[in-house]
A and B are shown apart, each in its own frame.
Chain A
Amino acid sequence: GENVEQHPSTLSVQEGDSAVIKCTYSDSASNYFPWYKQELGKGPQLIIDIRSNVGEKKDQRIAVTLNKTAKHFSLHITETQPEDSAVYFCAAIIDFGNEKLTFGTGTRLTIIP
């Protein structure tokens, strides 16, 4: 089955700087990669996703890049703000409709004011 590794497990960034979280996956058949943000005591919130037919996707301060050859994808947050502090999870799926997501282990991001 699919295995997703995520690094780093914790990340502290000065407000205004950029944060990068990296994930690798094992199954080359995976073709959909969402990123979720989870705040304390809440459910995960989808923040951005990318499908295997593109290499990069951007939404304001958030971007995701995908390297299918190397089987890794990354989340980039620019101009970080205190409200970006949360746990971020990457995931991978073989996108056949309602298949199961395989999650990474999570990254606790702390933005230092």
Chain B
Amino acid sequence: GAVVSQHPSWVICKSGTSVKIECRSLDFQATTMFWYRQFPKQSLMLMATSNEGSKATYEQGVEKDKFLINHASLTLSTLTVTSAHPEDSSFYICSASWTDTQYFGPGTRLTVL
């Protein structure tokens, strides 16, 4: 149990385009999901907390208008990187809470050309 999936696993896009990443809890319902960003050889940096049915809570320094989060159901949260630029290239990882434990998705590698 407690499986979290992400789609796509990797994406390459042109500068200026928007990219949507999906995070799904496959075998449990998650009222709260989290979005992280990870640079090479670094730890995970929390970007925002996604709550089902309400607005996401963003960490300091994270642009709300650039990283749009929608948590429309108990099993799906989406992160949209709007007007992506090369500096947005990174590994994006989501997690979902279940029984007071966080389970992580496999990550999405975003490359912006």
Q: What residues make up the interface of A, taking CB atoms closer than 8 Å to B?
A: 32, 34, 36, 41-46, 49, 89, 95, 97-98, 100-101, 103-106, 108
The range of chain B's interface size is 20 to 34
Judging by beta carbons under 8 Å apart, are A97 and B107 in contact? no
Tell me the smallest distance from the CB of B69 to a CB of chain A, in Å. 15
Q: A32-B100, A97-B100, A98-B32 are in contact. Are A106 and B105 (CB under 8 A)?
A: no
Tell yes or no: B8 within 8 A of A by CB: no
Can you name the residue of chain A whose Cβ is closest to the Cβ of B107? A43
Per DSSP, chain A at the interface is loop
Query: Which residues of chain A are near B49, meaning CB under 8 Å?
Result: 98, 100
Tell me the smallest distance from the CB of A11 to a CB of chain B, in Å. 15
Given A43-B4, A46-B104, A89-B44; 13 other pairs, CB 8 A cutoff: A32-B100, A34-B102, A36-B104, A44-B104, A45-B104, A46-B102, A97-B32, A97-B100, A98-B31, A98-B49, A103-B43, A103-B44, A106-B43
